[in-house]
Structure formats: C-alpha cells, structure tokens
Amino acid sequence: MRAISQDVHGGPEVLKETGLPRPEPGPGQVLIAVHAAGVNPTDWKHRAGGRFVHRLPLVLGWDVSGVVAAVGFGVTLFEPGDEVFGMVPYPHGVGTHAEYVTGPARAFVRKPAGLDHVRAGALPLAALTAYQALVDTADVRPGQRVLIHAAAGGVGHLAVQIAKARGAYVIGTASAGKHEFLRGLGADELIDYRSTDFAEAAGEVDVVLDTLAGETLTRSLGVLRKGGTLVSILSGGTPEDVAKAAELGVGLKAMVVEADHASMRAVAGLVEEGALRVHVDRTFPLADAAAAHAAGETGRTTGKLVLTVR
C-alpha cells in the first residue's frame, strides 16, 4: 500500500510517500480502505518530534473515513463494504495517512449517508476533542456562557456548534475576518483578539475551552465564575496556574482526546440532525501530505485540512 512515512523528525520535507505491507486486522479490529484522512496540529507536532509518539519510522494520522475491507475475529459491528469513520486510538494507534489502516472496531461508527468521505475524514479527532471537552469534562448546560479560543480553527469551529447544541451562550475569539463565518455557525458573541482584550470583553463565563495554552490559559482563569471550568487540550498549566485556579475556586483540567464509540455515535447523531457541520478549508492528495503540513503550520486555516486517498 501507499503511505506517507518519515524516518527522521523535522519539517514537512521529511514526509515521503513509500510502499508498506498492507496490515491485517487482529481480533476485535477492522481493516479500513482509507478514502480520506484529516490533518491536525498534532500531526505536525509529532512530525517535528514533540508530543507523545517518538518511534521511527512513523506513519502519521488519526482521522479516517473509508470502507471496511476486512474484519478480525470477533467483530460483530461491521462487515466488509460498510462505510465508516472514526479515530484510531490516540496517540499510539497512529497511521491513517495511508491506503489502509487497522483499528479497534469500536473506534468507528457508520458514516452518515449525507456526509461524504472528505468531510467525514475531517471530523473525528477535532469533533471528539470538542465533544469530550465540553460534554464529558465541562458538562456544559443550557444557559451557560462558554468562551472558546481560536473559534474558527479545527476544534474551535466544531466546539462552537456543540456548545450551541447544548443550549449555551457562545463567545468566540477569532480574527475579525472570521467573525461572519462563526456567526453562521451560531456564535453569539465574537472577540477580535488582535484588537480587543478578551479578558475584559468576555465578562464572566462558566466554561473556557483553551486551545492555545500559555498566557491565554493563564488570563482565561480570571474570566471564570467561581465554580467554573477551564478545559485545556494542550496543557495542564504551570504550577502558578494551578495555584491561581485553586485560589479563584475554579477548575483547571487538561484532557487528551480518546477513541470512544459512544462519543463518535453522538458526533454522528449531531451531523445527522444538522446541528454539526465541518468546514474543510483545503484538500490535498495523499502524495502532497508535506504541502498539507506546511499549510497547516501557517496558522491561517479556517476549519480543517484533509488528505484524499481514494
């Protein structure tokens, strides 16, 4: 099979198309013929040598949408020919930037009929991150005020919609040029972080979804109501941040996204209800994975980047 692999850590240029043996599904696993696979910030961070997975050679990618090609012993959820999408277990189940990938059957769900493979391939990691942060971790409830940083990004634009589906009042930070896009997704209030201090403009909020870490995390603690929750997908904060959160009486939680059948079913349900749609900024053929990484690292992407495989 064709795959995008790297033998060393470094810039986008280390990514090369190569030929690898097609994997076989083990007990409880499915083999998926990949049609599309999302590209996420965690991909280029791992490519450069950071985050969690350091083994080389390495085939990146966690998002996948495709067709079940074979099932391992004991799999009852799917049969060959079923169209599915999901996320292989993060971080060590990596490998979707290839023509085939294996993963646990329950990491996947059936692809909604109205969702094409490109958009389905864009959804899993970012949507699961947003869902697990807002629903499972922060337990967002109707009427709560939710502040979402980098609201036009891959996780952010999906988090806006998930928070709205939960009945929240959604405040997003984004550059002014992306405000109209975010209003179209249901954002109630938008802050141009380039010209406005979000810590003054947001007022008191119940939940913060931090996708930036650093100073943004530290300053976000101050906008939370007592008893509120900040969920960071990048950092648990410094010891000073932890102490500040305790002093303010707010929660500071770091989370790592997990492959989860129930959450994927919930994401698919939101898509089918029309409450969640993914914005695909650009697509790239599998062979152009390096160009996708270079585009993503500019930080200018609205929504998601996707590799098309079939």
The residue whose two tokens read 């076989």 is 24
Do residue 94 and residue 159 come from a single domain?
no
d(CA 210, CA 226): 18
Q: Which contacts qualify for 91-94: CB closer than 8 Å, 24 or more apart?
A: 91/42, 91/46, 91/51, 91/52, 91/53, 91/62, 91/256, 92/52, 92/53, 93/62, 93/259, 94/46, 94/53, 94/58, 94/59, 94/60, 94/61, 94/62
Asked if the structure places residue 271 within a domain, the reply is no
Please tell me whether residues 67 and 154 are part of one structural domain. Answer: no
The total number of structural domains that make up the chain? 2
Dist CA 279 CA 283 (whole Å): 11
Q: Place 104 in a pLDDT band, splitting at 50, 70 and 90.
A: very high
State whether 50 and 28 are in the same domain.
yes
Q: What is the pLDDT of residue 272?
A: 98
Residues 248 and 152 in one domain: yes
CATH classification at residue 168: 3.40.50.720
Peptide bond into 57 cis (omega under 30): yes
- What residues make up the domain containing 137? 126-254
pLDDT of 154 reads 97
Model pLDDT, residue 223: 97
CA 32 → CA 43, 108, 258, 295, distances in Å? 20, 10, 19, 27
Comparing CA positions, the residue from 66, 148, 70, 140 lying closest to residue 110 is 66
In a domain, 170, yes or no: yes
144 in any annotated domain? yes
Q: What per-residue confidence (pLDDT) applies to 285?
A: 98
One domain, residues 177 and 248: yes
Residue 146 confidence (pLDDT) above 90: yes
Q: Are 77 and 88 in contact (CB under 8 A)?
A: no
**pTM for the full model?**
0.97
Count other Cβ atoms within 10 Å, centred on residue 24.
Answer: 11
Rg, C-alpha atoms of the chain: 19
Strands 2-6 and 58-59 come out as antiparallel
Inside any domain, residue 173: yes
CA-angle at 42, arms to 228 and 196, nearest 5°: 50
Residues 36 and 147 in one domain: no
The band of 39, judged by pLDDT with boundaries at 50, 70 and 90, is very high
Give phi and psi for 66, each to the nearest 5.
-175, -155
Within-domain flag for 260: no
Same domain membership, residue 130 and residue 118: no
Residue 51 has pLDDT above 90, yes or no: no
Residue 176 counted as domain residue = yes
Per-residue pLDDT of 224-266, as tens digits, reads 999 999 999 998 899 999 999 999 999 999 999 999 999 999 9
In a domain, 266, yes or no: no
Domain for residue 269, yes or no?
A: no
Query: pLDDT for 178-232, tens place per residue?
Result: 999 999 999 999 999 999 999 999 999 999 999 999 999 999 999 999 999 999 9
Mean pLDDT of all residues belonging to the chain: 97
pLDDT score of 40: 98
Q: What percent of the chain has pLDDT over 90?
A: 98
Quick one: 132 and 239 in the same domain? Answer: yes
> Looking at the predicted structure, is the pLDDT value of residue 50 above 90?
no
> Domain of 24: which CATH number?
3.90.180.10
